[in-house]
Amino acid sequence: MARSLTARILTVNLIPLLVLAASLFFLDSYRRQLLDERFKLARIEAQITAEALAGATRARQEALLIQIGKEQRMRVRLYDAEGNLTADSFALDEPSFTFGDPEAAPLMEDIARWTDSAVNLAVGAPSPPPYMEPANQHADAWPELSRVREQGLSQIELRSAVDGTPVINAAAPVGINGATLMTTRNAVDITHAVREARTSLLIIIALALIVSIVLSLYLANTIIEPLRRLGRAAVLVRTGREREVEVPRMQKREDEIGVLARAVSDMTAALRHRIDAVESFAADVAHEIKNPLASLRSATESLPKVKDDALFLQLVDVAAHDVRRIDRLVSEISEASRIDAEISRTTFEHVDLARLIQNILRAREDRGENARRRITLDCGPGDLAVMGVPLRLERIVENLLDNAVSFSGEGAEVSITLSRKGGRVIVMVCDEGPGIPEGEREKVFRRFHSDRPEAESFGNHSGLGLAIARTIAEAHDGSLRVEGRPDNKQGACLVLDLPGA
C-alpha cells in the first residue's frame, strides 16, 4: 500500500517540536506542583511545632527546637510578644543544613544552575526574592512574621538561596500570648527532583533529535537523491543527449517518487519514440519526394532538346504524372503528420460501424471505386457501435478497402465481417489476393511501403494508407493487424479491433 511522503515529512518535523514544547511546560508544572505540596507541608509543620511549644517551659521549648530542627533538617526560631528572638535552633545546636556556595561549586553544578535559569526564563516562571539574613533579628525584619503578628494566621514565604535553590519560610502564632514561630527549610530536594526530570527529558529530546536526524537522512536518501537523478536525466534529455540517459523506473517504490520516476521514464521513452519516428518520417519523406522530383527534373530539362512531337508529349505526360504523384505524397504526408494532434483535440462520438460501412460501400459503388470487385458485408449480432471520430474511422475503412481492391483480381470478392467479442468490435476485411507471408505482415504498416501488385500503375499510391489507418486505430485505443483468411483460402485479412461503445 502506498505511503504518502507528506505524512512522513510532517511526522518527522512535528515529533521533536511537540516533545520539546511539552517537556518545557511539564518541567514548570512539575516544579510548581512540588512547591505547592511543600508549602502545605511547611504550614502544617509550623502549626504543629507552634502547638507543641505553646505552654512548654523554656527548657522544654529549646529541647523541642533542637530536636525538630535536626529531624526535619530545618531552622526553627521563636519570638516573644514584643518580636524579640528568644530561641534559635541553629544557635542552640549545630546547624542542620547549610546553603551551597556557588563559588566553590563544581562545573556541572554551575551548568545545572545556568540551565535552571534558562528554563525558568523560557517558561516565564516568577523569580522569588533572594534569601538574606537581616542584621536586625527582630521579628519585623521578616514580612511573614509581621503578617502573623497582625493577622494571627499562618504565613508562607518563598525565597531563593544564593545557589538558586528554594528557601521556604513558614510562620505561625504560638499560643495566645503573642509569641510567634518561624521555620526555615532549604528545599534542595525540589531542585534535585526538577533537575532529574529535566535530565530525563533531555535524554528523550536527544533521542528524538537522533531519530529525526536518522529519518531526515532516510528521507534524503529516498527523496532527494532520486529527485536529483531524475533532474540530471531531465537535463540530459533537454540538452539533446537523451540517448545517454537511463531513467530509473524504481519499480519497488509505490509512493509519489516511484510514480514520478516511472512517468519520467515513460515520457522519455515516448519522446525517444517520437523523435525516432519524426527522423525516420523525415528521411522517408525526403526519399519519396526525391524520386518524382528527379524524374520531373529530368523530364523538364529534356523538353527543350526534344524535336520529336511524340517524345515531347510523352515527356509532358511523365512530368504531369510526377506532379500528381508529388501532390498525392504531400497531401498524404500532411494528413499523416496531423492525425494524432487532431484526434487528441476532438470529442469522440457514438458511431454505428455497421451503418458507417454501409454508407461507405454505397458511395464507392456510386463512384465506381471498386473496379468490378464484388464487396460483401456480414454484420454479426450485438451492438456494433464504438466511440470515435466518424471521418477518421471512415478513412480507416476506405484505406482497407482500397488495399483489398488493389490486391484482388478483377471479379474477385472482398468480404467485410463485423462482429462483437466481449467489449470489442472487430472489423475484418479479407481479399482474394496473393496473401502476405507471416514474417512480412508488420512491414505493410511501414510508411511508404511500396510492395504493390504488378498490374498497378507505378506511383498511384503513396504507401501511407495502411500506416495512416493503424495510426488512427491506435488513437482510438484500438489496433490494426494482418491475419490469414479464416477459411484458409489464398488472400489476406486486415483486422481492425476497437473498444465497443
Task: Tell me the per-residue pLDDT of 472-482, one tens digit each, with 9 for 90 and over.
Answer: 888 888 888 88
Nearest to 336 by CA among 491, 468, 486: 468
**Alpha carbons 30 and 34: distance in angstroms, whole number:** 6
- CB neighbours of residue 114 within 10 Å: 11
DSSP-derived secondary structure letter, 343: H
Where exactly are the structural domains of the chain? 5-199, 242-271, 276-345, 346-501
Residue with cell 489496433: 479
**Alpha carbons 341 and 335: distance in angstroms, whole number:** 10
pLDDT of residue 74: 93
**Percent of the chain topping pLDDT 70:** 84
Give the best-scoring range by mean pLDDT among 176-185, 320-329, 365-374: 176-185
DSSP-derived secondary structure letter, 4: -
Read off the C-alpha cell for 338: 496531423
DSSP-derived secondary structure letter, 152: -
Would the pLDDT of 296 be above 80? no
Asked if 443 and 379 count as a contact pair (C-beta separation under 8 A), the reply is no
Which of 15-24, 196-205, 250-259 has the least mean pLDDT? Answer: 15-24
pLDDT of residue 182: 95
Mean predicted confidence (pLDDT) in 401-427 = 85
Instruction: Give the three-state DSSP class for 437.
Output: coil
**Alpha carbons 494 and 271: distance in angstroms, whole number:** 29
Sign (positive or negative) of CA dihedral 380, 385, 391, 396: negative
**Alpha carbons 162 and 436: distance in angstroms, whole number:** 106
Would the pLDDT of 459 be above 50? no
Mean predicted confidence (pLDDT) in 4-15 = 66
Q: Which residues of 300-316 are buried (b: 16+ CB within 10 A; e: fewer)?
A: eeeeeeeeeeeeeeebe
Asked if 330 and 481 count as a contact pair (C-beta separation under 8 A), the reply is no
CA distances from 412 to 398, 406, 430, 444 (A): 18, 11, 11, 21
The more confidently predicted of residues 94 and 346 is: 94
**Alpha carbons 302 and 300: distance in angstroms, whole number:** 5
Q: Which CATH number does the domain 5-199 belong to among 3.30.360.10, 3.40.50.720, 3.30.450.20, 3.30.565.10? A: 3.30.450.20
CA distances from 71 to 44, 46, 185, 318, 468 (A): 15, 14, 12, 130, 106
Read off the C-alpha cell for 80: 516573644
Question: Given strand 374-379, what is the order of strands in its sheet?
Answer: 374-379, 413-421, 424-430, 492-499, 479-484
Mean predicted confidence (pLDDT) in 149-175 = 92
**Alpha carbons 169 and 43: distance in angstroms, whole number:** 9
Dmax of the chain from CA atoms?
162
Mean pLDDT computed over every residue of the chain: 81
pLDDT of residue 449: 60
Instruction: Give the three-state DSSP class for 254.
Output: coil
Mean predicted confidence (pLDDT) in 77-106 = 91
pLDDT of residue 404: 84
| Fold adopted by 276-345 | Helix Hairpins (1.10.287)
Nearest to 501 by CA among 419, 424, 410, 407: 424
The more confidently predicted of residues 390 and 236 is: 390
Identify any residues that bridge with 157 across adjacent strands, giving them in sequence order.
169
To the nearest 10 degrees (0 to 180), the angle between helices 390-407 and 309-345 is 140
Assign domain 346-501 to its CATH architecture: 2-Layer Sandwich (3.30)
Cα radius of gyration rounded to whole Å, the chain:
51
pLDDT of residue 448: 62
Residue spans of alpha helices (H) in 220-308? 225-238, 256-302
Q: Do domains 5-199 and 276-345 have the same CATH topology?
A: no
Would the pLDDT of 88 be above 90? yes
Instruction: Give the three-state DSSP class for 177.
Output: coil
The end-to-end CA distance of the chain, in Å, is 33
Number of H helices, E strands in the chain: 12, 12
